[in-house]
Amino acid sequence: MDTPSSAPDAPLDEALPDGDLLDGDLLDGEGDAPEPEIYDADVRRDDVDQDALKVIRRLRRHGHRAYLVGGGVRDLLLGVRPKDFDIATDARPAEVKSLFRNCRVIGRRFRLAHILFGGGKIIEVATFRRDPSDDPSEDAADDVRRNEDVDILIRRDNVFGEPHEDAYRRDFTINGLFYDSEDQTVIDYVGGMPDVQGRVVRTIGPPDVRFREDPVRILRAIKFSARLDLGIHPDVYDAMVAQREELARAAKPRLLEEILRLLRGGAAHRSFWLMWETGALGVLIPHLAVHLDDHSDDARRLWGRLDAIDALKRAGTLPTDAALFAALMLGPIQDATRGARDAVDAYESLMGEVVETLSVPRRMKERIRTLVQAQGRLASGRIGALTRREYFDEAATLYGIECHARGVPRPDWLEDRPAADKPAPRRRRRRRRR
Ligand code: ATP
Ligand code: MG
């Protein structure tokens, strides 16, 4: 079956690797493959996607190694329903394609195989790869510790590698585990299993280095901590704070996407509290951080709005991205435009900075303005013609979010509308009267 280097058939070792494992020679990637820790996995087979299991079985029947990997494994071990199931294998993309009719190879720079199933389900199959920088990470770590201005931002692509290298290139130990679905074991090169058990977010390798290589990882640490209710290791937390300015160097669309994920993840309150607390918010949306630093009633309402968003997520009625962003920025926008001679101007100069730092699409920026502008009309109760606007539902959702934050009852019209943010009761209604 597998070659000894992957050691899936190594004797079961129940002992936890000691916590200092990470500071060792994890990242040299040369010479003999290190021995992973192998754990019996407490995963119910029914919780694993059957199509993912089929893909793994077929790859193995053809002599390849194949494991579940990444967020799916982490979530299974934490008892959370995984969003998706990714597979890592030693088969090259072309080999994967030759084994599956329903396979599409994607990616110009790093090629991945997507296996397509009914209902739009995609199982992603990636060949084991490694970080291409021969970068002896300990040297880079020394430079970072000495505070030398080294540029280690990852710009190059990964290249094929061994399973242990594939584990080391990942961001956090909890995300670096392989699940062997045949043996029902977890293969752990990175000390991830003790961190799953201890419910802690810890980088693979030195945190300062890993955040400078890719500052978006700072937002990912916040996301995992908030969404999965995990602690952040103190050294990792300190590095997040120390490296937060690096966020300004990350690709802007990635930053926007991660901010939206924080809003959509069901833990928006905790996420943005951590954003504020670590100073990441001050780098990415300075106006919002300054607004919160005020500790005014206005500022406090942000937490209420984020609670409302988390409740909508639980109810399965997540607002649109524009409504989410509007709820995030409502305080600063209202501050800037209230009493301004030219409200549009005031809005543009506030949002100009956000648009620039996060590359918010122009359409979304305009939509946010429309939604915020509509709030005055909605508050006056004279909703009349507004109900016929195509943005009415979104604006009303934002209004409902603000009602929650202010602790005021929702007006009748909000209750009566056939709204996106009200799952039940599901009454069929005729179109609104013209
Ligand atoms: P989610 O449940 O939010 O999808 P995830 O862990 O699956 O969480 P993905 O963005 O889907 O996150 O990435 C899949 C895997 O790829 C991660 O678990 C991690 O191992 C690796 N990964 C993703 N982003 C990075 C990164 N910036 N640096 C290193 N590894 C990463
Ligand atoms: Mg994922």
Asked whether residue 314 is assigned to any structural domain, the reply reads yes
SS3 label, residue 39? strand
Q: How many CB atoms lie within 10 A of CB 432?
A: 10
Q: For the chain, what percent of residues have pLDDT higher than 90?
A: 71
Q: How many CB atoms lie within 10 A of CB 192?
A: 28
Question: Is the domain of 59 the same as that of 139?
Answer: yes
Q: What is the 3-state secondary structure (H, E, C) of 288-343?
A: HHHHHHCCCHHHHHHHHHHHHHHHHHHCCCCCCHHHHHHHHHHHHHHHHHCCCCCH
| pLDDT tens, residue by residue, 356-387 | 999 999 999 999 999 999 999 999 888 888 99
For residue 71, report the distance from its CA to the centre of ligand 1, in Å: 6
pLDDT at 296 over 80: yes
List all residues 6 or more positions away from 409 whose beta carbon is below 8 Å from its beta carbon.
Answer: 403
Q: Are 169 and 130 in contact (CB under 8 A)?
A: yes
According to the model, what pLDDT value does residue 269 have? 98
Domain C-terminal end among 159, 181, 205: 205
According to the model, what pLDDT value does residue 431 have? 47
Question: Is the domain of 288 the same as that of 197?
Answer: no
Residue nearest to atom 5 of ligand 1 (CA): 71
- Dist CA 412 CA 323 (whole Å): 21
Bridge partners, 88 (sequence order): 67, 126
Residue nearest to atom 17 of ligand 1 (CA): 70
- Dist CA 124 CA 69 (whole Å): 10
- Active-site annotation holds for 298: no
Place of tokens 């290589």: 213
List all residues 6 or more positions away from 340 whose beta carbon is below 8 Å from its beta carbon.
Answer: 346
Amino acid at 428: R
According to the model, what pLDDT value does residue 6 have? 36
pLDDT at 298 over 90: no
Question: Is the domain of 178 the same as that of 279?
Answer: no
Confidence of residue 122 (pLDDT cuts 50, 70, 90): very high
Q: Are 88 and 166 in contact (CB under 8 A)?
A: yes
- Dist CA 55 CA 182 (whole Å): 12
How high is the mean pLDDT of the chain?
Answer: 86
CATH label of the domain that carries residue 301: 1.10.3090.10
Stronger pLDDT, 152 or 324, i.e. the higher one: 324
| pLDDT tens, residue by residue, 209-265 | 999 999 999 999 999 999 999 999 999 999 999 999 999 999 999 999 999 999 999
Asked whether residue 423 is assigned to any structural domain, the reply reads no
- Dist CA 131 CA 169 (whole Å): 6
According to the model, what pLDDT value does residue 16 have? 32
Question: Is the domain of 17 the same as that of 162?
Answer: yes
Report which secondary-structure segment, H or E, holds 116.
Answer: strand 112-116
Domain C-terminal end among 183, 205, 227: 205
The gap between the terminal CA atoms of the chain, to the nearest Å, is 68
User: 118: domain range?
Assistant: 4-205
| pLDDT tens, residue by residue, 1-44 | 333 333 333 333 333 333 333 333 444 444 578 999 999 997 88
Relative orientation angle of helices 268-278 and 234-242, to the nearest 10 degrees: 70
Q: How many CB atoms lie within 10 A of CB 428?
A: 5
Mean pLDDT of 164-176: 97
Question: Is the domain of 187 the same as that of 286?
Answer: no
Select which of 2, 75, 86, 393 is catalytic.
Answer: 86
Q: Are 34 and 28 in contact (CB under 8 A)?
A: no
Question: Is the domain of 175 the same as that of 98?
Answer: yes
Distances (CA, A) of 260 to 187, 223, 281, 318: 32, 11, 13, 12
From 27, 157, 171, give the residue whose CB has the most ligand 1 atoms within 8 Å, as the site to mutate. 171
pLDDT at 151 over 80: no
| pLDDT tens, residue by residue, 34-85 | 999 999 997 888 899 999 999 999 999 999 999 999 999 999 999 999 989 9
Question: Is the domain of 123 the same as that of 47?
Answer: yes
Total-model pTM: 0.85
Going by their DSSP bridges, the two strands 159-160 and 129-130 should be labelled as antiparallel
The total number of structural domains in the chain stands at: 2
Q: How many CB atoms lie within 10 A of CB 286?
A: 14
For residue 70, report the distance from its CA to the centre of ligand 1, in Å: 6
Q: Are 266 and 295 in contact (CB under 8 A)?
A: no
Stronger pLDDT, 26 or 99, i.e. the higher one: 99
Asked whether residue 168 is assigned to any structural domain, the reply reads yes
According to the model, what pLDDT value does residue 25 have? 41
Domain C-terminal end among 205, 236, 256: 205
Question: Is the domain of 273 the same as that of 162?
Answer: no
- Active-site annotation holds for 238: no
The sign of the dihedral angle between the CA atoms of 293, 295, 301, 306 is positive
- Dist CA 186 CA 406 (whole Å): 47
pLDDT at 181 over 70: yes
- Dist CA 408 CA 411 (whole Å): 9
| pLDDT tens, residue by residue, 406-433 | 999 999 888 877 554 544 444 444 444 4
Asked whether residue 334 is assigned to any structural domain, the reply reads yes
Question: Is the domain of 152 the same as that of 48?
Answer: yes
Q: Are 271 and 223 in contact (CB under 8 A)?
A: yes
For residue 175, report the distance from its CA to the centre of ligand 2, in Å: 10
According to the model, what pLDDT value does residue 137 have? 52
Q: Which of 135-144, 196-205, 279-288, 328-337 has the lowest mean pLDDT?
A: 135-144
Q: Are 273 and 288 in contact (CB under 8 A)?
A: no
Question: Is the domain of 155 the same as that of 16?
Answer: yes
Pocket of ligand 1 (CB under 6 A): 70-71, 83, 86, 170-171, 175-176, 214, 216-217
Asked whether residue 400 is assigned to any structural domain, the reply reads yes
Question: Is the domain of 274 the same as that of 396?
Answer: yes
The Cβ-side half-sphere exposure at 20, using a 13 Å CA radius, reads: 1
Q: How many CB atoms lie within 10 A of CB 294?
A: 12
Question: Is the domain of 176 the same as that of 41?
Answer: yes
According to the model, what pLDDT value does residue 31 have? 58
- Active-site annotation holds for 171: yes
Q: Are 256 and 360 in contact (CB under 8 A)?
A: yes
According to the model, what pLDDT value does residue 340 have? 86
Going by their DSSP bridges, the two strands 200-201 and 231-232 should be labelled as parallel
Asked whether residue 429 is assigned to any structural domain, the reply reads no
Among the atoms of ligand 1, which is closest to the Cα of residue 213? 28
Asked whether residue 259 is assigned to any structural domain, the reply reads no
Mean pLDDT of 181-202: 97
According to the model, what pLDDT value does residue 13 have? 33
DSSP 384: G
Asked whether residue 252 is assigned to any structural domain, the reply reads no
